[in-house]
Chain A
Amino acid sequence: MSELGDLLDDIVADVDSVFLFSPSASLFERFADAETPVVVVSPENDVDADNYVELPLEFRDLSERIRFGIEGGLDNEFLEEGDQVACATKLYADDIDTVSRVRAGDFEHSGVYDLFVNSRADPNVIRNVLEVAIELGKKGQKGKRVGALFVVGDAGKVMNKSRPLSYNPFEKSHVHVGDPIVDVMLKEFSRLDGAFVISDAGKIVSAYRYLEPSAEGVDIPKGLGARHMAAGAITRDTNAVAVVLSESDGLVRAFSGGEIVLELDPEEY
């Protein structure tokens, strides 16, 4: 089987750095004395790596996961544009079973790392909102698909660029997106029309908001509805990010700066 070994050697030949996605402690240990710099990408830094990129969401899609890791590595200056990177990650098994080679900067900068780390809102808050949207997309209401729009961060400005459709059920409440009660309220959520406004720290400021940003110059793929248009427009107009659960195709999309930066299928999580 030397051909297979050669193939693997070819893949990892002359790489500038190695990205380990959620490595076990023993595996990381083996890389400790390696000459090539090692970067760990995982939800939690339990191996105490020096070069570490936090993975806020276990992206099921491999290319999304690698893209996030590479963008995080570029942002933290663990690597430079054009570096050759070997990524060791898991695809089917519970531990690392896949090695691939990427050239940093080969793909378009999607901003998925910026979405989490360099947004106004806390990375945890964005992750929680995404989780709520994914959960909502999976469950729906009575088996029917639902749509939802969450606007996260820059809440003061967002509130001034929107108007209430009805009384605000979250007035004088102090519910945050990470709270356990939110899971219980999920079903109720899906009945509310309009957008949810969530502050930088994760407080649910309002529901039933009708967003009225100027939609000028917002360019989103044709075929997406008013909800996505509103999300694109509000993120262009303010420093907020928006998380949309589409009613028509059931996908969760995240917007930042008027553009789609992330697309997830809730069924995969």
Chain B
Amino acid sequence: MTTAEIGRARLRKEDAHLITGRSRYTDNITLPGMLHLAMVRSPFAHAKITAVDVSAAKASPGVVAVLTGADVADEQGNVPNVWPVTADQKAPAFPSIAVDEVAFAGEVVACIVARSAAAARDAVELVDVSYDELPVVMDLEEAFTDTVLAHSSLDSNLSATWVFDSGEAGTGKPIREALDNAEVLIERTFYQQRLIPAFMEPRSIVVDPTSEQITMWTSTQVPHIVRLMLALTLGIPESKVRVIAPDVGGGFGGKLTVTPEEFITLMAARRVGKPCKYTETRSESLQAGHHGRAQVQRLKLSATKEGIVTGLDVNLLADMGAYLGLIGSGIPILGAFMYNAIYKFPAYRLECNNIFTNKAWTGAYRGAGRPEATFAIERMMDELAVELGMDPLELREKNWIKHDEFPFTTVAGLEYDSGNYEAATAKALELFDYDALRAEQARRRETNDTVQLGIGISTFTEMCGLAPSRVLGALSYGAGGWEHAQVRVLPSGNVEVVTGVSPHGQGHETAWSQLVADKLGVPFENVEVLHGDTQVSQRGMDTYGSRSLVVGGMAVLAAADKVIEKAKVVAAHLMEASEEDLEFTDGKFSVKGTDQSTSLGEIALATFAAHNLPDGFEPNLDSDATFDPQNFSYPHGTHLAAIEVDTETGRVSIRKYVCVDDVGVVVNPLIVEGQVHGGLAQGIAQALYEEAVYDEAGTLVTGSFVDYLVPSAPDLPHYTTGRTQTPSTTNQLGVKGVGEAGTIASTPAIVNGVLDAVRHLGVKDIKMPCSPSRVWAALEEAKTTGGVQ
């Protein structure tokens, strides 16, 4: 394989239509006779529905139909959960349109179908729903006590308790021993605030029921999963449903789901026999799209006086919200294998309790379990360093896996194939100017500067490339983790690549073109990448978990390899040579030791004509491949943040942010860089800005972008980025994945930096987001009590 394309900063093929306004987002689609939907949503977080009167709404101008839960009770089934994390996992029924009871504010109770979106929304106001309010449980720790139940159909708010114990698993020592014999024991509780994915494109669905096959366009990361779930839930033959994800305006896990609105739009379209569109408003998106994070983390870390960690005990409360969405139950479990991070902990136990509350249900949000784990352990390592009076980097180095110790099987049972934490850290320190900043920090402390400087550290790894199917099976996930691709060589020699992953901003068309151009020796421009339509891409597991290149890209390469094998047979026949004497380079088969050669394009044309092929040769070069990874991949990196805290106002500023990421071999540095930047922005947003806040009655207070603080350009710093490269040893290209790295690493770097700036003033912890008011309050509290939690 030549390497003309791998590592090249190709500009994106995807851009041309997006920068000129020729976009194909779902809400841009208009079909003949199309009707519009609007949802009637519960204003209450928990209530019995006693009556729904739709008569006035039905009489409203332009209204064609109104659907209530009772109308569709026999056909709607339940919004599926495919991840029973334990055999006894409990979940309430989750009808798309509530029938008897609502369990969060924003739940759909009726649907208007009208000739225009405006007419539909007008009629929403006319639906008269009678509710009997029930007590609500909004606080996660309170919910765990079962004092108030989130559902009257369940006798407990506990959905499942999942436990990993290294002593029992045989991957390490028992935790009890480590804690009992601890020379130093650190106990802390951290709060992972509830976040909202807040993709820029509100979700939109168009369903065309007018042909034999129902077609759905939907703003999703997972068209293949949506298709299967529509079929299974509504009892439609899978072959009668086609799902298309056209241009999709971001996802970040928020579109890794199957939504009530998708089921409702399909049911409505099927009933009225006309194409129907539903596009949510931003407020609906924030209120009723799934949320992320939302955990209480209680940790105990035992160590020797020299700073060698001997054990880690983690107790999680994970807020499921009101229902179990597609994979919400498994999100904390994805983090469970990452609390030991880059370190050689000998003993580890994690217990996770999945709890229901009367809030929007939770699911994947960029990193999905791993940011929570990384935050907790990187905060704990800083706490231990403070306790021991050690430099936090020195403490980390004492505990981390050395570069010559790979492959390394961790206490959580994962085999890390490769990494070099020393190299990434050394490079980050160089870019950061660590010693100079520490000296400035000391000066500011001595002079009692009103602006104090803190240095935040985060050395992280994550598991990417979801996922080996066997591992998913062992975790009781409802599907595999393979990916599919097809490579087709057209008679002209142009190449079509069909991929089962479904991009929504990542640049797969560009990167896959680079992969195939290199592999087949065809020009980058001659490769066309097709995706996101179940009629074109028949098989796929879609895009999430930094899996697209590591799993989907490897399927593309495997399919291309098969194309070469097929073409070789034809080449040998055409040149009257033995296959063993052929070599394939730069898109040509040559007979070794001669000047005889034939190009892939010539072979494609000869195969198309099929006039002169070997006996029994099937006349096409097209090849399919399905790749199932044998292991995850483990990108890592060192992130350093210089944080200024104005002690008079509580304002936090990021003065410098340096990150060195090792994502293995890089196909397109431009795209990798973009993924890192965007990831950093979301991780910083958790540390400083964002939180989904509910009031006591269960209303989402942060129900618009006025209150939910997605950071804008002046809220974020310039990022200094660098890379080290330790190739993954578990895939043919050595790639590791980059989609979530920035988000996972940056949150603890920022919060560690904030605390480092004010710890000497008596502040011990600040809950995220570290807003000016919270930082100021912590400083004030410290003045009077000598410290706050």
Partners in one complex: no
Give the interface of B toward A (CB within 8 A).
none
Give the interface of A toward B (CB within 8 A).
none
